[in-house]
């Protein structure tokens, strides 16, 4: 038994600035002044010509990238004032005041600095900047200096260090969930609804951005803003409420999703939303295989292709070699059933392998599917899939007289073709979420998790590993085939090039796996968020398509460094990847101002 005693009193970093030591109080005032200066600069012109997108020439009316700087600076001001102890703002920072301020000021500096660089590059030099850009840029720099002059938010057993990088790493680390104040049930429900309403607004703003510069600025602002809100403890509080009111949470989530197509006037953006749902649903199906059962499947996109090709063959396409026209419900069941059979046929001979060997074999089967669809062209093999030309002219759905290919007026809002398919895919997503949730909470789901953690130990406890892994493989394949039937109708055609291991356009196996890892394995929201990010970013930034694999690789490396459990992590992953101090045994009571820790077995 070794006792470690620190006689240095822990700083109260949540106290008002007037009660802090002089350097900390001066740093908070500096951060406040810099944030206010950055906000004021957004009401001045940033450039003299409207050739730069967003029209940043107007004084008194922020536009484009100015709005993002304004939002970031306003949030930074609120969090700084919360640290002052301003009445009514204490709820903003239940997990600490200084780390969120550092992150928000960095976000303001990043957005403003990017805007200045973009203006200078597009228009040909810094001479094209007006005073507003310099005012906001100077204010952002001052705010960052002040924010990093603040002491770190100290938690029990936590020593963040005093340098720039230690404090930045501390700001990015996951906070301990704050102890939430008890609220009435109706207030908790309103908070959940408000959280999803804000999420819908942010998503609609991002998907509606008209030019790449604004979307990049949006990504910078959202990345730093969400991390700051998470570090402040607000995300943990909302998560606690959603776990308490699961039914309300699911209802609010799907209500917000239903509202999305009615908020769009551009059918192209609605089409992106529909494809995101397809990508997210397939990623959620892969999460059964990878996240729950721990099976590394690198050919999963083949199951999506099986469902899509099956639907294309039986849905009445003039180029179909079968020449039949099933109703949609029959085509859906056929696509899911064929995908399930395909999953069993692949899984039966391969699931006795583990680890890298299983990954290599599944990768091979994925490529075999693509090459088989390519060669069933009447020359290299039977004329079934029309080879590289694929199966085009797949007719739009018509369910109970509702033509999905036409625009419909619903409550005064025009629901376009893409909106029709978005709502249909949303229904399929709800089914997949229900299946995943029920499976994860079942006895079979717990057996999958046991196999994922240690298959040898699970087998020793009486679990039939092969049978359960085959079940996970078959279920994941059926869910992917379900999404493939909608993808075939939405895209009008299916071709072999759509189902590669890695390609320029998702979904493909590499991006699906990245979506699961990025979002958080074994969770429902993780793959949905990961898939949305990985599909939306290439769709909005066309010039980055040649480098997207490199950029996503860099993003995954950064994620593994700062948040290895993923953007949305379950409790198991948080305990696995972060030190929790659960083995620390409280020592005897020490004098005031001292911190005592006894390490068991030290």
Residue 396 lies in a domain: yes
pLDDT the model gives residue 1: 42
Helices (H), 288-416: 301-314, 328-350, 355-375
Instruction: Judge if 438 and 541 occupy the same domain.
Output: yes
Residues 346 and 197 in one domain: no
Examine the domain organization and report whether 207 and 327 are in the same domain: no
Q: Is the domain of 444 the same as that of 552?
A: yes
Indicate whether 90 and 218 sit together in one domain.
Answer: yes
Same domain, 198 and 126: yes
- Answer yes or no: do 423 and 492 share one domain: yes
Q: Which two tokens stand for residue 475?
A: 């279920």
- 25-29 long-range contacts, CB within 8 A, separation 24+: 26/146, 26/149, 27/146, 27/147, 27/148, 27/149, 27/150, 28/80, 28/83, 28/84, 28/146, 28/150, 29/146
For position 408, which CATH number holds?
A: 1.10.3470
Both 194 and 296 in one domain: the answer is no
Is residue 125 in a domain?
A: yes
Within 13 Å and on the Cβ side, how many CA atoms surround 6? Answer: 10
Boundary residue ending a domain (222, 239, 256) = 239
**Are 363 and 506 in a shared domain?**
yes
The predicted pLDDT at position 503 comes to 66
Domain shared by 12 and 106, yes or no? yes
Residue 24 lies in a domain: yes
Q: 0.85 exceeded by the pTM?
A: no
Alpha-carbon span 290 to 459, nearest angstrom: 19
- Alpha carbon distances (Å) from 387 to 51, 318, 487: 47, 15, 19
Which segments of the chain have a pLDDT < 70?
1-22, 84-90, 95-97, 152-181, 503-506, 571-602
With respect to residue 554, please indicate whether it lies within any of the assigned structural domains: yes
Q: Give yes or no for a contact between 56 and 65, defined as CB atoms under 8 angstroms apart.
A: yes
Residue 540 is encoded by which pair of tokens?
Answer: 């909005």
Q: Round to whole Å and give the CA distance between 232 and 225.
A: 11
Full residue range of the structural domain in which residue 305 is found: 277-569
Whether residue 384 sits in one domain with residue 498 = yes
pLDDT at 491 (0 to 100): 84
Q: How far apart are CA 43 and CA 60, in angstroms?
A: 4
Please report the pLDDT score of residue 153 as a whole number. Answer: 62
**C-alpha R_g of the chain:** 27
**Position 521 in a domain:** yes
Three-state DSSP class for residue 7: coil
- Give the residues across from 599 on adjacent strands: 2, 584
φ and ψ at residue 250, rounded to 5 degrees: -65, -40
Residue 561 forms part of a structural domain:
yes
Total count of domains within the chain: 2
257 domain residue, yes or no: no
Separation of first and last alpha carbons in the chain: 6
pLDDT in tens, 200-259: 999 999 888 888 889 999 999 999 999 888 888 888 888 888 888 888 888 898 899 999
Are 427 and 546 in a shared domain? yes
In a domain, 56, yes or no: yes
């Amino acid at each position: 038994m070794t006792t470690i005693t620190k006689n240095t009193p822990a700083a109260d970093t949540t106290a008002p600035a007037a009660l802090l030591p002089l350097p900390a109080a001066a740093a908070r005032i500096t951060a406040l002044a810099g944030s206010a200066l950055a906000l004021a600069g957004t009401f001045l012109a940033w450039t003299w010509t409207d050739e730069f997108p967003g029209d940043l020439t107007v004084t008194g009316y922020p536009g484009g990238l100015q709005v993002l700087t304004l939002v970031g600076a306003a949030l930074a001001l609120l969090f700084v004032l919360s640290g002052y102890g301003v009445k009514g703002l204490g709820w903003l920072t239940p997990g600490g005041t200084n780390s969120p301020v550092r992150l928000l000021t960095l976000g303001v500096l990043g957005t403003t600095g990017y805007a200045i660089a973009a203006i200078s590059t597009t228009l040909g030099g810094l001479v094209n900047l007006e005073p507003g850009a310099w005012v906001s840029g100077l204010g952002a720099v001052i705010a960052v200096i002040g924010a990093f002059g603040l002491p770190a938010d100290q938690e029990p057993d936590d020593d963040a260090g005093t340098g720039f990088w230690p404090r930045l790493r501390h700001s990015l680390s996951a906070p301990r969930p704050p102890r939430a104040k008890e609220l009435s049930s109706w207030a908790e429900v309103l908070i959940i609804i408000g959280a999803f309403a804000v999420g819908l607004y942010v998503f609609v703003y991002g998907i509606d951005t008209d030019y790449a510069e604004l979307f990049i600025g949006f990504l910078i602002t959202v990345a730093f803003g969400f991390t700051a809100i998470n570090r402040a403890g607000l995300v943990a509080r909302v998560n606690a409420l959603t776990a308490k009111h699961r039914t309300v949470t699911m209802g609010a989530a799907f209500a917000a999703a239903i509202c999305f197509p009615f908020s769009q006037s551009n059918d192209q953006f609605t089409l992106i939303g529909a494809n995101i749902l397809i990508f997210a649903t397939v990623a959620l199906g892969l999460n059964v295989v990878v996240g729950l059962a721990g099976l590394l499947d690198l050919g999963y996109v083949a199951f999506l292709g099986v469902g899509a090709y099956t639907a294309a063959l039986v849905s009445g396409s003039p180029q179909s070699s079968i020449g039949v026209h099933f109703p949609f419900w029959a085509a859906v069941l056929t696509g899911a059933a064929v995908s399930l059979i395909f999953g069993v046929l692949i899984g039966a001979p391969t699931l006795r392998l583990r680890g890298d060997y299983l990954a290599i074999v599944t990768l091979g089967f994925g490529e075999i599917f693509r090459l088989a669809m390519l060669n069933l062209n009447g020359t290299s093999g039977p004329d079934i899939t029309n080879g590289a030309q694929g199966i085009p002219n797949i007719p739009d759905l018509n369910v109970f007289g509702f033509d999905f290919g036409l625009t419909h007026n619903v409550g005064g809002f025009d629901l376009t073709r893409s909106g029709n398919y978005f709502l249909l895919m949303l229904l399929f997503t709800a089914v997949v979420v229900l299946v995943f949730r029920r499976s994860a909470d079942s006895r079979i789901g717990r057996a999958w998790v046991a196999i994922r953690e240690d298959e040898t130990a699970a087998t020793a406890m009486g679990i039939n590993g092969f049978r359960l892994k085959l079940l996970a493989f078959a279920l994941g394949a059926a869910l992917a085939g379900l999404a493939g039937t909608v993808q075939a109708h939405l895209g009008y055609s299916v071709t072999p090039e759509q189902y590669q291991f890695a390609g320029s356009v998702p979904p493909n196996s590499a991006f699906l796996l990245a979506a699961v890892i990025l979002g958080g394995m074994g969770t429902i929201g993780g793959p949905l968020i990961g898939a949305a990010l990985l599909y939306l970013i290439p769709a909005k930034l066309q010039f980055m398509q040649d480098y997207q694999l490199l950029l996503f690789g860099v993003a995954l490396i950064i994620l593994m460094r700062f948040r290895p459990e993923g953007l949305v992590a379950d409790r198991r992953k948080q305990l696995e990847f972060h030190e929790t101090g659960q083995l620390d045994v409280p020592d005897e009571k020490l004098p005031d101002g001292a911190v005592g820790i006894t390490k068991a077995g030290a």
